[in-house]
Structure 1
Amino acid sequence: MDYKDLTGQILSVSQFNQLINEIISPLQVIVEGELAQVNTSSGRWFFATLKDDQASVNLFSPQDRLPNWQLLQEGMKVRVEGWPRLYQKNGRFSLFAHSIQPAGKGALKEAYEKLKKELAGLGYFDPARKRKPPRFIRKIGLITAPDSRAYSDFVTVLANQPAGIEVDFYPVLVQGNKAVDQIEQALAFFNSHKPLEYDFLILTRGGGSLED
């Protein structure tokens, strides 16, 4: 499609997407950012999000183009060499990578390690702080997201335990901006409602990315 002079031309959506893709596809770029939401479950493709503190872009590549794809992890700072792509069917913009090389430790990973070190310094992970569980469990307080994998896994495991264990479930979000407030409210609820009645208070979630 000739895009040098489009004055007055009316394009369909598919023609517009094709036009943009033809313009940007030849551009070979090197983009530096932090990996998030790494997904290799398809078996043939490597999918991830490349981000900084102001923006993000989806990236993808066949695994056989990336000899180091198994070493790429969320939180890694990387340099991605490739070409911009616009998927014509839905207009989704992404970066088609043919090389992804580590460029240092990412900001999210550094923040996580720093927080972990601070909490360890406060003794939160000290084995001496761990309490011995009771021999017989009567009642559990459960804090997690409803209809989540964590909830279903908990119910499955509980079904294989001796009968008679009572569970009080407090549903919360476990990711996103509202998660912290809801989890704090759940903890406050159990602490204010006869906490000695509970043998365990379980706060759990399943999966999730490093940024979550």
Structure 2
Amino acid sequence: MSNPERISLTISQLNQEVGQLLHRGFPALWVEGEISNLARPASGHLYFSLKDASAQVKCAMFRAKMLGLNLRPENGSHILAYGRVALYEPRGDYQFIVERMEALGEGELQRRFEALKRRLQEAGWFDPDSKRPLPPYPRCIGVITSPSGAAIRDILQVLRRRSPHIPVLIYPVAVQGDSAAPQLVRAIQQANRETRCDVLILARGGGSLEDLWPFNEESVAQAVHSSQLPIISGVGHEIDFTIVDFVADRRAPTPSAAAELVSPDQALLRPQLQHLYQQYTKHFLHKLQREQAQLTQLTQRLSTQQPARKIQQQIQRLDELAYRLQRSIQGRVQQNQTRLQYLTQRIHRQSPQYQLTKYQQTLSQQAQKLSYSMQQYLAQQQKSLALQAARLQLLSPLATLERGYALVFDEQGNLVKDAERVTAGQTLQIQLAQGKLHCRVN
């Protein structure tokens, strides 16, 4: 017989095949357990073991998956881990690769609740000194809750029993689910804008932590903290606590208890009102008697003092003063009119137009005088000129020439006064009264 053919694998091949089998055979799943042997190397990855009472498994969580982690793993922490089964081939170690991690026991919601509670408490949002007092006798009560839940029925029943005279304004909202928190915020802000109510009740019935979670949202807590109207929280049952319970001005264990806190009991108010009514009536009657006595006294004084006669005397006095006032006014008016005329004349004399007319007249007179003086001066100058012209005519060489005389000039134009200075053949020029002669001396 021949031996069957043997097939052998290397250790690496074996571990690779086993790793593929584990990957294909186990889909991503959740496991729970307690953390032990936790290691945080410089690479930023986490290595630890998850164990229960009888077994344990090695785990790894890589740094990229830790970015959105909402808890800090510690040895002894009970967690829920989500991931895949794998094999670390170099050592052949079976392990669980963790992709997500949540706290077990407290739960993720409880952890978020405690974290927000600590942060808001450190911010002073729970400080009793910041709480607004509730109005003892509200004029209108606002209720923010579901219009179809049991909470609104309980609240209205209590208010009708205790204070049926107080109007109630309902702001309908969802109290569960993803849309509940935004609706709660808008309702609180709307009530503060309208200011139709003196106090608000924020209420819903009991439920799980998930059901009550809208009342643990930070946005709702912010709206309650910022509200100018006092808010009573009546969320859940007596054992239920939400973030809104700590931020609100008052916390009621139930919606019905919230209605009782905000509404005065008419059964207790009735005796007080009756007592106040009796006191007011007694005070009013006493005041009425006092006023009547004072009225009687004033009536008697009025009849003895005869005000009609005094009024007549005052009327006559008023007429006399009016006459005197009229005369005084007329005198003052006439006096002021006379002064006004005087001042008007002065103003007229000082006015530019008056002065201009006056200066124009003066200028005309001076112009006439100047014209007459110029004419006299010109006549005198003309006579003097004629006389000087006659004298000049007598002394003029031309006049001498007219009488038959002549002027003799040499070639150079010099006047010849002596015959001995003239030589034969010399040319001379003789100026006559009419014309010139050119002569040669023989």
Given the two structures, how large is their TM-score scaled by the length of structure 2?
Answer: 0.24
- The structure whose residues are more often strand, as a share, is 1
Structure with the bigger RCO (C-alpha within 8 Å, sep 6+) is 1
- The structure whose residues are more often helix, as a share, is 2
Larger Rg: 2
